[in-house]
């Protein structure tokens, strides 16, 4: 149906409308939904793949038609206007805060696909004139696991939009707004039920991944059972709903020194201070074990914010080993948890019903 997809992961499919999702041109005639369109859209949604629209049409009648077909709610931030479609795809990527290299664009017109390909060469281009069911058969549209978090991904983005709207209308400093969210963060050892989502985190998170490493389900299962490793997952919720599992920490526990091998934080919580809280939690655990704490950082070209995160948390670079920068924290001063977060930190020996630790 288009380019080679073996090595690509698609996070968002952007659809054209006229003669792609439906038959006919809305501005000229009545249109009919193409066979299998509903099944394809709903199937992608159930797999955790986001979807949007980039269409040259008048916005109101096109949205009304999507409502009539029962599909409007499946498309996030639809761009229905008369701008170049490359501008519409860029606007969708910016609003969803995900990379264009994880996008697929479906359009029946070769010119439109070529315009997207010229402007955004990493976008996967698919011929909208082909049978729509072909989209579901592409390897890049088949995540290895479908988790509860992935099934809710579109709804979680909707909750994020509500948070953003509340933040934009809030008058006051950022910390005061965060205090209104009633955030509850749980940091606990990874359980077997977490493994599918945790694997997904390593595969989907690029900007806030300290080394760029990915781990398979089997790797993670082995690490969570290893007495020489600590594998922690963070789960966040607030008054708008659950963010889901949004953070991951992997520590190699040596007798005298712990090595933080991996820190991952979902981009959706970049402004919530979760990365710093995760680091503080690891600091407290390491100090409690009487160990020094070091951390690995590998520049992937996309994760430079992680360098800032480590330095802001008090880590200092001490040496380079190949393409790895080694940081160390002296653990003498560990910042407290921000007052706007209720933290529950679960130790290996405690069960998941441990009482919350107030911030």
Express each pLDDT in 321-357 by its tens digit. Answer: 999 999 999 999 998 899 999 999 998 543 333 333 3
Rounded to two decimals, what is the model's pTM? 0.77
What is the number of other CB atoms lying within 10 angstroms of the CB of residue 268? 22
Query: Which pLDDT belongs to residue 106?
Result: 98
Helix, strand, coil percent values for the chain (each to nearest 5)? 40, 25, 35
Query: Which pLDDT belongs to residue 191?
Result: 92
Say if residues 315 and 295 touch (Cβ distance below 8 Å). yes
What is the number of other CB atoms lying within 10 angstroms of the CB of residue 92? 25
How many whole angstroms separate alpha carbon 118 and alpha carbon 84?
12
- Largest separation between any pair of C-alpha atoms in the chain: 74
H-only helix segments in 56-152: 59-68, 85-96, 110-119, 133-137, 148-151
Measure the CA angle with vertex 32, ends 155 and 141; round to 5°: 40
How many whole angstroms separate alpha carbon 189 and alpha carbon 138?
35
Say if residues 170 and 180 touch (Cβ distance below 8 Å). yes
Query: Which pLDDT belongs to residue 350?
Result: 37
Query: Which pLDDT belongs to residue 148?
Result: 82
Cα distances (angstroms) measured from residue 336 to each of 26, 122, 177, 278: 58, 42, 19, 11
The torsion defined by the Cα of 81, 164, 73 and 31, in degrees rounded to 10, comes to 0
How many whole angstroms separate alpha carbon 324 and alpha carbon 212?
11
241, with CB counted inside 10 A (0-12, 13-18, 19+), is middle
Say if residues 249 and 198 touch (Cβ distance below 8 Å). no
Query: Which pLDDT belongs to residue 349?
Result: 41
| 94, two tokens | 């910016």
Query: Which pLDDT belongs to residue 7?
Result: 59
- Closest by Cα among 219, 318, 313 to 263: 313
Question: Could you say which residues of the chain have pLDDT below 50?
Answer: 1-5, 349-359
How many whole angstroms separate alpha carbon 146 and alpha carbon 101?
21
Query: Which pLDDT belongs to residue 120?
Result: 97
Q: What are phi and psi of 327, to 5 degrees?
A: -110, 160
The domains located in the chain, with CATH, are: 12-141 (3.40.50.1000), 148-345 (3.40.630.30)
Say if residues 245 and 201 touch (Cβ distance below 8 Å). yes
Query: Which pLDDT belongs to residue 354?
Result: 35
48, with CB counted inside 10 A (0-12, 13-18, 19+), is buried
């Amino acid at each position: 149906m288009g380019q080679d997809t073996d090595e690509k992961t698609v996070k968002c499919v952007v659809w054209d409308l006229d003669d792609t999702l439906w038959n006919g041109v809305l501005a000229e005639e009545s249109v009919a939904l193409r066979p299998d369109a509903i099944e394809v859209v709903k199937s992608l949604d159930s797999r955790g793949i986001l979807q949007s629209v980039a269409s040259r049409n008048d916005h109101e009648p096109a949205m009304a038609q999507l409502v009539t077909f029962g599909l409007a709610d499946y498309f996030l931030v639809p761009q229905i206007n008369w701008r170049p479609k490359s501008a519409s795809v860029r606007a969708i990527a910016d609003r969803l805060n995900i990379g264009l290299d994880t996008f697929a664009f479906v359009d029946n017109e070769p010119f439109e696909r070529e315009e997207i390909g010229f402007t955004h060469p990493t976008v996967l281009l698919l011929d909208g004139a082909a049978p729509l069911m072909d989209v579901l058969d592409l390897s890049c549209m088949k995540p290895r696991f479908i988790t509860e978090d992935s099934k809710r991904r579109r709804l979680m983005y909707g909750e994020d939009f509500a948070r953003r709207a509340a933040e934009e209308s809030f008058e006051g400093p950022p910390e005061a707004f965060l205090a209104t969210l009633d955030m509850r963060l749980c940091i606990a050892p990874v359980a077997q039920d977490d493994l599918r989502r945790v694997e997904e985190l390593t595969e989907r998170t690029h900007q806030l991944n300290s080394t760029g490493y990915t781990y398979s389900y089997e790797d993670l299962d082995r690490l969570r059972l290893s007495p020489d490793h600590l594998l922690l997952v963070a789960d966040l919720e607030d008054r708008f709903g659950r963010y889901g599992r949004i953070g991951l920490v992997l520590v190699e526990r040596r007798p005298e020194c712990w090595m933080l091998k991996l820190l991952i934080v979902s981009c959706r919580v970049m402004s919530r201070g979760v990365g710093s809280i995760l680091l503080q939690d690891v600091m407290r655990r390491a100090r409690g074990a009487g160990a020094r704490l070091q951390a690995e950082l590998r520049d992937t070209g996309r994760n430079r914010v992680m360098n800032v995160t480590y330095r802001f948390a008090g880590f200092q670079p001490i040496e380079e080993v190949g393409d790895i920068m080694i940081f160390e924290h002296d653990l003498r001063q560990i910042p407290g948890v921000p007052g706007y977060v209720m933290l529950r930190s679960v130790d290996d020996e405690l069960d998941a019903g441990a009482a919350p630790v107030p911030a």
